[in-house]
Amino acid sequence: MSLHELRRKANEAVARRWLASKHWGGWRVGMVDHQWRVCVLADDAFWFHCGLNHTAVVQPGSSWIGERIPDLDHPGTRAFLLEDVRKAWKDSVYWMSGPGGHHVIKCGYQWFNPGKRVGKGLTEAEALIAALEAAP
């Protein structure tokens, strides 16, 4: 198995944890699934653009939408994971990168020093999902 395939499988596993989280914010406009289909919301339905002339229209609650896996290699999709983490922690978190991986640190509005670490991982996405799972 190639390094690219290993990374994709690892990201899919992390994305499945996001989907299973009680803090999953749902599909949003601009997200990309693991097959690089762009999600657009219009007329209360999801539109996944699959290429130049191919579009899949999915109604909310469809089993097809449940089969989609967010692509955490895509920076726009990963930004929605960060948004879910910030909502879950009431905006009182930030993430940092350093030796040994990435960390999500709890902070407060009254002080500037970091509080406790709430999520860590070898990748940004892994640290963010760990913080999401630790959120109250």
How do residues 67-85 score in pLDDT, each as one tens digit? 778 989 888 899 999 999 9
Q: What is the pTM of this model?
A: 0.75
How many other C-beta atoms lie within 10 A of the C-beta of residue 32?
21
How much is the pLDDT for 112? 39
The residue assigned the tokens 């209360």 is 44
Strand partners of residue 44: none
* Angle in degrees, CA 35, 38, 42, rounded to 5: 140
Strand partners of residue 94: 105
Tokens of 11: 């990201």
Please state at what angle helix 124-134 crosses helix 75-88, rounded to 10 degrees: 20
